């Protein structure tokens, strides 16, 4: 019997459509290993939720919901949540964890949400996976209510690495990341699509993590960690993540 890795590569070879590739990715492998939430991941989630703001009574859409940590947190905060993902397994788990969440199987560039309008659309580490991220941003704008907000999070200034696929003998980006973003690139992409950029935040300093200083800061509240994190980002320029809040 083929190993899971061999099966994964064999299945990918059957398709040329990138959406089908990502569907298989989501079913077979969890890049972020969400069963183990460490200090850095905890701070990432706290930061994204802070940027999302008050959600009670609002219609919220998460594009590429993955394991569902954000949509479950939004529902717990009183939002009416819709989760869209290419993995039916992920969606089933989200629905089992919180039946209030409306789970929909679909592509980030072809949302199964016709006729719906949202107060907040969020995509956490999704844009770097898409072949045409600006097309996705333009598509999402159709589903934002007037004055609605967009929250996108991506790796910051990522150096994309490649491995050689032993089956097709082609370079394959590690973690399936196709794009690297900095402030100027992502801001321009969002503004060109018609959003007004309201906030840009860099966070999760790589040096703090490498030196394990984040573990020492773990008992402290988010705001205290954020002061230290922002200071180290100014000194080193080595943030791991970036979030941008836009408004329609």
| Domains annotated on the chain, with CATH | 39-247 (3.40.50.150)
Tell me what pLDDT residue 30 has.
52
Assess contact for 123 and 64: CB atoms under 8 A: yes
The per-residue b/e assignment along 43-74, b for 16 or more CB within 10 angstroms, e otherwise, is: bbebbbbebbeebeebbbbbbbbbbbbbbbbb
pLDDT tens digit at each of 248 positions of the chain: 444 444 344 444 444 455 566 556 655 555 444 556 899 999 999 999 999 999 999 999 999 999 999 999 999 999 999 999 999 999 999 999 999 999 999 999 999 999 999 999 999 999 998 989 999 999 999 999 999 999 999 999 988 777 777 767 777 777 778 889 999 999 999 999 999 999 999 999 999 999 999 999 999 999 999 999 999 999 999 999 999 999 99
Which of 192, 202, 199 lies closest to 155, judged by CA?
A: 202
Tell me what pLDDT residue 7 has.
39
Tell me what pLDDT residue 23 has.
58
Assess contact for 101 and 75: CB atoms under 8 A: yes
């Amino acid at each position: 019997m083929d190993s899971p890795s061999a099966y994964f590569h064999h299945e990918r070879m059957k398709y040329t459509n990138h959406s089908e590739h990502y569907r298989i990715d989501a079913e077979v492998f969890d890049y972020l290993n969400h069963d183990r939430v460490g200090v850095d991941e905890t701070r990432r989630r706290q930061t994204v939720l802070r940027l999302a703001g008050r959600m009670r009574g609002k219609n919220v859409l998460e594009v590429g919901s993955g394991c569902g940590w954000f949509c479950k947190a939004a529902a717990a905060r009183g939002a009416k949540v819709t989760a869209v993902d290419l993995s039916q397994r992920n969606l089933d788990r989200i629905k089992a964890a919180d039946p209030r969440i409306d789970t929909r199987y679909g592509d980030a560039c072809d949302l199964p949400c016709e006729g719906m309008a949202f107060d907040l659309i969020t995509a956490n580490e999704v844009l770097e996976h898409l072949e045409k991220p600006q097309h996705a941003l333009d598509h999402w704008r159709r589903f934002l209510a007037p004055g609605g907000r967009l929250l996108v999070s991506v790796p910051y200034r990522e150096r994309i690495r490649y491995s050689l696929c032993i089956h097709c003998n082609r370079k394959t980006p590690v973690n399936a990341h196709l794009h690297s973003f900095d402030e100027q690139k992502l801001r321009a992409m969002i503004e060109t699509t018609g959003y007004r950029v309201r906030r840009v935040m860099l966070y999760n300093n790589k040096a703090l993590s490498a030196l394990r200083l984040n573990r020492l800061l773990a008992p402290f509240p988010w705001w205290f960690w954020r002061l230290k994190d922002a200071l180290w980002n100014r000194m080193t320029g080595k943030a791991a993540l970036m979030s941008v809040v836009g408004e329609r």
